Amino acid sequence: MTTYDVAVIGGGLVGAAIARMLGGTSLTVALVEARDDVGDGTSKANTAILHTGFDATPGTLEARLVARGYTMLGDYAKATGIPVERTGALLVAWNDEQLATLPALRTKAERNGYLECELVSAADIYASVPDLGTGALGGMTVPGESITCTWTTNLALATDAVNRGVTLLLGHRVMAVDSTPDAVRLVCTGGDVTARWVVNAAGLGADTVDRLFGHERFTVTPRRGELFVFDKAARPLVPCIVLPVPSKVGKGVLVSPTVYGNVMLGPTAEDLDDRTATGTSPAGLDFLLDKGRALLPRLLDEEVTATYAGLRAAIDRDDYLIDVDPARRYVLVGGIRSTGLTAGMAIAEHVGSLLSGHLDVTPRDELPDPPRMPNLGEAFPRPYQDAAAIAADPEYGRVVCFCERVTMGEIRDAYTSPIPPADLNGLRRRTRAMNGRCQGFYCGAQLRDLVETLGGTGGGHE
Ligand SMILES: Cc1cc2nc3c(=O)[nH]c(=O)nc-3n(C[C@H](O)[C@H](O)[C@H](O)COP(=O)(O)OP(=O)(O)OC[C@H]3O[C@@H](n4cnc5c(N)ncnc54)[C@H](O)[C@@H]3O)c2cc1C
């Protein structure tokens, strides 16, 4: 059996970023994921904002890695085609107490190295977002806040890792750990994996895996965030991300455009016991509708396209928990709650520097180019609009999902890519198929057939 230099547990944004970084060295690496696809945990259901880190707690590891990750992911998005729209954000104060907080928030942003925030009047706010509900007293701009696609980001990082030689082991849930003096054997559902070092990036499962290594230091509390997605007709109402003034209990409910051309309202923040509770709740959705009515009354006249929920891996400390245990040759990457999309690449860089005293993490020469990802962003050209692409390959002119204008060429490409979808939901995340107004009412049956035919012939991993 192969003994890898490093096994990374968890194929979410963070694990994929770490595997990609390690894959760029001379080390042999396995990315070990419980599910049948990468990016199928928390990383598939967030608000997809590329945060500047203006409101992070200064001096924390999270503040440093979010700021660094913002730059790294911005650059990586250019290289790979991950869609990013530089919409900027407007933070709105709705009462005197919030208004009084704004200067301190700007100072906090500056302490975090972000110098672009400006305090603005109520008149400025309504000039920027004319449909905002009445009662805004003032605000602060955060011009760097941006929107992106979490699905493409996770897939790009994992694809890059595979292209760099990382072995992707899907369907491998780590159930037990057996340590010997030279290596660690991970007992997994899909077969055992042996490695000299292990990185735990298991998100909601990070505390469980940590206990398998003999630690008893933290517990993950799933903090559910529920969201509404409104129809594309609502997009002109929301030219930028509209944020509330953050409070001790979190970032609060925002309204934001999405890169797919929709509008998002959410998320809630509710601590649960159940780590699988990714469904929405009537109470959560009612709460959001009340918030939306006050924030942007006209939004509620628009159709709702979908609702969804994600679980943040909250822990009982106000920072990431990243720690190396040299005796066990083990790295914990825990508590990556609400900023991991932005910080993922910087977390990987940080893990690399922590490992550098123990392993040779020097980048090797002649790395493959980063993968060029299919564009899912509405602001950038898509295949159905590209006459030259259609002339060269008519499959890009055959629309299958009419709501989101997804073509047969894109569906075929998803199945011939290095990490093909495992099911219909995986196909959604790679193409946007079935994500539109009808939610698959018209194209669902055809897509299900395609998943059966193409899914049987696609590439894949052990
Ligand atoms: C509602 C919401 C909104 C958010 N908004 C933003 C935002 O706007 N911007 C931002 O930057 N961040 C945001 N986040 C945070 C971001 O989504 C997370 O920080 C990030 O997705 C965490 O990635 P991860 O890889 O740590 O976890 P995950 O994506 O959950 O990946 C962990 C993986 O480990 C696997 N795993 C678990 N246990 C095992 C095991 N025993 N064996 C093998 N594999 C295992 C899981 O199957 C999973 O695939 C938000 C989060 C939520 C919930």
Q: Using one digit for the tens of pLDDT, what is the confidence trace for 106-129?
A: 999 999 999 999 999 999 999 999
CB 209 within 8 A of CB 217: no
Under a CB-based contact definition with an 8 Å cutoff, are residues 307 and 228 in contact? yes
Q: Point out the ligand 1 atom lying closest to the alpha carbon of residue 175.
A: 41
Q: What percent of the chain has pLDDT over 70?
A: 98
The DSSP secondary-structure symbol of 255 reads E
* Co-location of 120 and 154 in the same domain: no
Are residues 168 and 40 located together in one domain of the fold?
yes
Q: What pLDDT, on the 0 to 100 scale, is given for residue 459?
A: 41
Please check whether residues 251 and 301 belong to one and the same domain: yes
57/66 Cα distance (integer angstroms)? 11
- How many Å lie between the centroid of ligand 1 and the Cα of residue 42? 3
Reply yes or no on whether the pLDDT at 282 is more than 70. Answer: yes
What's the whole-number mean pLDDT along residues 75-91? 98
Check whether 458 has a pLDDT greater than 70.
Answer: no
Give me the phi and psi of 267, to 5 degrees please: -95, 165
With contact defined as beta carbons under 8 Å apart, do 273 and 262 qualify?
no
pLDDT value of residue 355: 97
pLDDT of residue 209 exceeding 90, the answer is yes
Res. 147: pLDDT tops 80: yes
The predicted pLDDT at position 249 comes to 63
Q: Which pLDDT tens digit goes with each residue over 307-356?
A: 999 999 999 999 999 999 999 999 999 999 999 999 999 999 999 999 99
Beta bridge partners of 223: 271, 312
List all residues 6 or more positions away from 388 whose beta carbon is below 8 Å from its beta carbon: none
Regarding whether 413 and 297 lie in a shared domain, the answer is no
Residue 125 has a pLDDT of 98
Does one domain contain both 65 and 141? no
Do 370 and 407 lie in a common domain? no
- Give how many domains the chain has, as a whole number: 3
Of residues 458 and 36, more confidently modeled: 36
- Of 37, 46, 425, best ligand 1 pocket probe by most atoms within 8 Å of the beta carbon: 46
In this predicted structure, what is the pLDDT of residue 55? 96
Distance from first CA to last CA of the chain, Å, rounded?
14
Give the pLDDT of residue 247.
78
CA trace torsion 430, 455, 402, 39 (10° rounding): -20
According to the model, what pLDDT value does residue 181 have?
A: 85
Full DSSP string of 5-58: EEEEE--SHHHHHHHHHHHTSSS-EEEE-SSSSSS-SGGGSS--EE---TTS-T
pLDDT band for position 246 (cuts 50, 70, 90) = confident
CATH number at residue 353: 3.50.50.60
| Residue 214 included in any domain | yes
Residue-range definition of the domain harbouring residue 426: 383-457
> 305 and 438: one domain?
no
**Pair (152, 274) in one structural domain:** no
**Last-in-domain residue among 313, 340, 359:** 313
Same domain as 169, residue 99? no
Give 23 Cα–ligand 1 centroid separation in angstroms. Answer: 21
Please choose from 312, 320, 419 the residue to mutate so as to test ligand 1's pocket, defined by most ligand atoms within 8 A of CB. 312
Residues 296, 420: one domain?
A: no
- Over the stretch 72-82, which tens digit does the pLDDT of each residue have? 999 999 999 99
Q: Is 312 in the pocket of ligand 1 (CB under 6 A)?
A: yes
Band of residue 251 on the pLDDT scale cut at 50, 70, 90: confident
What is the spatial distance between Cα 303 and Cα 234, in angstroms, rounded to a whole number? 8
Q: Are 147 and 258 within 8 A, CB to CB? A: yes
